[in-house]
Amino acid sequence: MFPENYEAVKYLKQKRKEKRVNQETLGNLLNVTKATISRYESGDIAMNVEDILKVADFLGVNRGELPDLSISQNLFVDETTLKVLGSVKAGYPLECYEVAEDVPVPAWILKKFPNAYGLRVHGDSMDRIIPENTIAVVNPQTEVPNGKIAIVRINGTETTMKKFYNLDGTIILRPESTNPDYRTMSFDTEEEKADIHVEGRVVTFVPDPRIIL
């Protein structure tokens, strides 16, 4: 016996594979582990309706296509707007430029992270987790746990988005890319580390509303 709404989850699994989106990416979208996504897709545990709709929106699936989905109407209108303050390079560090605008996002994001802002993602150095041309949702903070994704400013003007580590006095910025050209960056001297400033943690991401899938 599969859990409620499993047919919708199975349908999204098919669409995920067609679009070559991996389970880790969906896990980061929903703030759960890759293993949890696997359990959703196998029918071991139920996936709640709100998360099903988040995945559908991310994959560009019309909500009306989802088979046998039990929903309430308020899930379709529970949105707010997120201020997008600029763009960030998911590649080699690049000067951040401002493109201030408001974009629609699910309301839960700003309920959980009221000070969050958005950055448009350019480049593919993090595309195993956060695809290019999406909007990274950033919670402003100067400290990020090891292994989490950070927005880092280098030399005062250049910004990049990478997995962040501070190990035994060495700062490491690691890409998560399908492109083998990207390399991990390490900073171990006091002079190098003085130029590294964490500006926030990427807590989730949303599709770019300008892009039609």
Kindly report the pTM of this predicted structure.
Answer: 0.68
pLDDT at 98: 56
pLDDT per residue of the chain (213 residues) written in tens, 0 to 9: 888 889 999 999 999 999 888 999 899 888 889 999 999 999 999 998 888 988 888 887 877 788 877 654 444 446 788 888 878 877 555 455 455 688 888 887 888 899 999 998 988 899 888 888 889 999 999 999 999 999 999 887 788 999 999 998 899 999 999 888 999 999 998 988 898 999 999 988 888 777 654
pLDDT at 141: 95
Centre a 10 Å sphere on the Cβ of residue 137 and count the other Cβ atoms it contains: 23
- Nearest of 3, 58, 7 to residue 28 by alpha carbon: 58
pLDDT at 49: 85
Encode burial over 91-113: b for 16+ CB neighbours within 10 A, e otherwise. Answer: bebbebeeeeeebebbebbbeeb
Query: Hey, what domains does the chain have and what are their CATH numbers?
Result: 6-75 (1.10.260.40), 79-207 (2.10.109.10)
Q: Measured in Å, how far apart are the chain's first and last C-alpha atoms? A: 34
pLDDT at 175: 93
pLDDT at 91: 57
pLDDT at 99: 56
